[in-house]
């Protein structure tokens, strides 16, 4: 009565001497050589895979805006203009119908709010500028969702959808570029390995703001579906592996003599 229940610890006769710690509850065991060797494949994450190395190079962003602009202009010159992915781009400096200048603002925005702000500022700049001075704007946002194309496309949907309700689709149209871009067929993403994707795979995320009047005139000149088909055929001839390597290296000299053939019409 009045005695609290409890238990008594006794030392067993012939119990081995030791440091008093059980093997099963010693946290230090996790750093032992045998344990580290056993789980080496799980624990050793210091060495990235080859795919991880290539991805890191793909999404690496120069700190200098001048270098970002230089790499972008190189890509526009070779892929968009010289190869002819856009049939109405004459060079990195001239594009459109009628031909006008190309505006290249570089913004280091990282949030959606910041990107909205700089986007609307550039929309206003384009609309208020003369066509011959600024035909189109290529807004470069190198730090915005460069590692996540899904996040980027989700954001760009919020730019495209309001064009009609706001009544500005008759003034501007939008095209998007990203290092991991994948074309969609309706709501579904097409294969990542399609060469056609490289018509939109740029060195950095970009928002192309175009004048609707010029887009409509271009569509009358050559159907959009035909442009897509001819681009895909030419890019497929180059090959996905080479196109991806050039994108990672941001060097397109290999394509200096490659041209999209616009002389035929399969539609």
How many domains does the chain fold into?
A: 1
Backbone angles phi, psi at 206, to 5 degrees: -145, 150
Query: Mind listing the pLDDT tens digit for each residue in 180-227?
Result: 999 876 444 455 678 999 999 999 999 999 999 999 988 888 888 889
Note whether residue 41 is domain-resident. Answer: no
Position with higher pLDDT, 208 vs 265:
208
| Poorest-pLDDT segment among 89-93, 199-203, 228-232 | 89-93
pLDDT digits (tens, 9 = 90+) for 53-85: 999 999 999 999 999 999 999 999 999 999 999
50 HSE (CA, 13 A, CB side): 0
What percent of the chain stands above pLDDT 70?
Answer: 79
**Torsion from C-alpha of 125, 171, 231, 239, nearest 10 degrees:** 40
The Cα 113–Cα 30 span in angstroms is 45
Q: What φ, ψ does residue 36 adopt, rounded to 5°?
A: -65, -40
Mean pLDDT estimate for the chain: 86
Looking at per-residue pLDDT, the higher value among 185 and 99 belongs to 99
Query: Assign residue 70 a region: left if phi > 0, alpha if psi is -120 to 50, beta otherwise?
Result: alpha
The rounded distance, in Å, linking the Cα atoms of 166 and 161 is: 9
In a domain, 196, yes or no: yes
Check whether 267 has a pLDDT greater than 60.
no
Which position has the token pair 């999404």?
59
Share of the chain above pLDDT 90, in %: 63
R_g (Cα) of the chain, nearest Å: 28
Integer Cα distance of 101 and 131 in angstroms? 8
- 110 lies in a domain? yes
Lowest mean pLDDT segment, chosen from 40-44, 145-149, 180-184, 204-208: 40-44
72 versus 41: the higher-pLDDT residue is: 72
Half-sphere exposure of residue 209: CA atoms within 13 angstroms, side-chain side: 25
Task: Give the Å distances, CA to CA, from 65 to 106, 135, 140.
Answer: 7, 22, 10
With a cut of 60, say whether residue 99 has pLDDT above it: yes
- Say what the pLDDT of residue 223 is: 84
Judge contact between 87 and 227, C-beta under 8 A.
yes
The reply to whether 168 falls in a domain is: yes
Span 149-168, average pLDDT: 96
Phi, psi angles (nearest 5°) of residue 89 = -105, 120
- pLDDT tens readout for residues 250-262: 999 999 999 998 8
Identify the three-state secondary structure at position 89.
Answer: strand
The answer to whether residue 266 sits within a structural domain is: no
How many other C-beta atoms can be found within 10 angstroms of the C-beta atom of residue 177? 22
Residue 44 lies in a domain: no
Work out the pLDDT band at 39, boundaries 50, 70, 90.
Answer: low
pLDDT at 21: 52
Domain assignment of residue 58, yes or no: no
Instruction: Examine the pLDDT at 248 and tell me if it is beyond 70.
Output: yes
Q: Read off the pLDDT of each residue in 24-45 and give the average, rounded to a whole number.
A: 59
Residue 142 lies in a domain: yes
Range of the domain at 174: 63-255
């Amino acid at each position: 009565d009045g005695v609290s229940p409890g238990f008594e610890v006794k030392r067993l006769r012939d119990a081995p001497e030791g440091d008093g710690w059980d093997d099963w509850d010693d946290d230090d065991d996790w750093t032992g050589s045998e344990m580290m060797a056993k789980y080496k494949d799980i624990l050793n994450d210091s060495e990235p895979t080859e795919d991880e190395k290539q991805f890191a190079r793909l999404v690496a962003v120069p700190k200098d805006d001048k270098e970002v602009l230089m790499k972008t202009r190189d890509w526009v010159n070779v892929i968009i203009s010289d190869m002819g992915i856009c049939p109405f781009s004459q060079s990195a400096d001239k594009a459109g119908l009628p031909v006008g200048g190309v505006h290249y603002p570089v913004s280091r925005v990282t949030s959606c709010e910041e990107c909205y702000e700089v986007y609307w500022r550039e929309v206003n700049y384009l609309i208020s500028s003369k066509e011959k001075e600024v035909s189109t704007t290529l807004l470069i946002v190198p730090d915005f969702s460069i590692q996540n194309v899904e996040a980027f496309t989700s954001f760009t949907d919020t730019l495209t959808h309001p064009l009609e309700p706001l009544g500005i689709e008759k003034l501007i149209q939008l095209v998007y570029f990203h290092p991991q871009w994948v074309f969609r067929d309706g709501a579904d993403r097409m294969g990542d390995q399609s060469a056609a994707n490289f018509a939109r795979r740029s060195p950095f995320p970009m928002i192309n703001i175009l004048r609707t009047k010029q887009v409509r005139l271009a569509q009358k000149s050559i159907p959009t579906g035909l442009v897509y088909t001819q681009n895909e055929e030419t890019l497929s001839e180059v090959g996905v592996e080479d196109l991806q390597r050039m994108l990672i290296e941001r060097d397109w000299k290999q394509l200096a003599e490659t041209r999209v053939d616009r002389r035929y019409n399969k539609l």
